[in-house]
Chains A and B, each alone.
Chain A
Amino acid sequence: ETGVTQSPTHLIKTRGQQVTLRCSSQSGHNTVSWYQQALGQGPQFIFQYYREEENGRGNFPPRFSGLQFPNYSSELNVNALELDDSALYLCASSPQGRGVSYNEQFFGPGTRLTVL
């Protein structure tokens, strides 16, 4: 069983650029969540995708967008990068989506984004 993988591991961009981060969910998982973790802080929920549709969003501006593909892998896109977007971006997958009272999330290793 393959765990959650993310690419790239590290990324350096300049302010105003756009970035795409990728996540492959664990086998059999149809739900993917994305989190932003600034240095010294806990992960902050960005949004979640369930069967290719957005299933909840945290307090992030529209320049943060995402996609989920038929194989349940996912992308996080950030436009017009700002210095404060520098963070560890975490992807987590889980086996079920709506209407489930309990669900463990399996996290990937993250992508470290630095915006200069």
Chain B
Amino acid sequence: DAKTTQPTSMDCAEGRAANLPCNHSTISGNEYVYWYRQIHSQGPQYIIHGLKNNETNEMASLIITEDRKSSTLILPHATLRDTAVYYCIVRVANTGNQFYFGTGTSLTVIP
């Protein structure tokens, strides 16, 4: 049961920041937000995760609102290789580490 809502598709100019929103208004206090991406039917690739605080790694930044009801994945300088489907996932508590994917956002980076 997907607990997230994402726009179906987005475009971003190459070199600009890509900001991908996700709504998870029913998230519980102990549930993490994960982001994965999938390039052309390959296996999904882990990007970043967070609980309450904003997070940054070499791939992206994750901004989580104070009420935790939404988050934004930021790719600071999008490249053509970032064209993919991006999934925002809330891992349901008490189910081990099982992920429930939604339909994701198809990001197209335009030259």
Contacts and interface: CB of A to CB of B under 8 A. Distances in A.
A92 to B, nearest CB: 8
Interface residues of A, number: 33
B43 A107 contact: yes
Interface residues of B, number: 25
Interface string B83-109: 001010000000111111111100000
Contacts, number: 72
Majority SS at the chain B contact face: loop
Interface in A3-58: 4, 31, 33, 35, 41-45, 48, 50, 55-56, 58
Given A45-B98, A48-B96, A110-B41, A104 B49 contact: yes
Interface of A: 4, 31, 33, 35, 41-45, 48, 50, 55-56, 58, 88, 90, 92, 94, 96-98, 100-110, 112
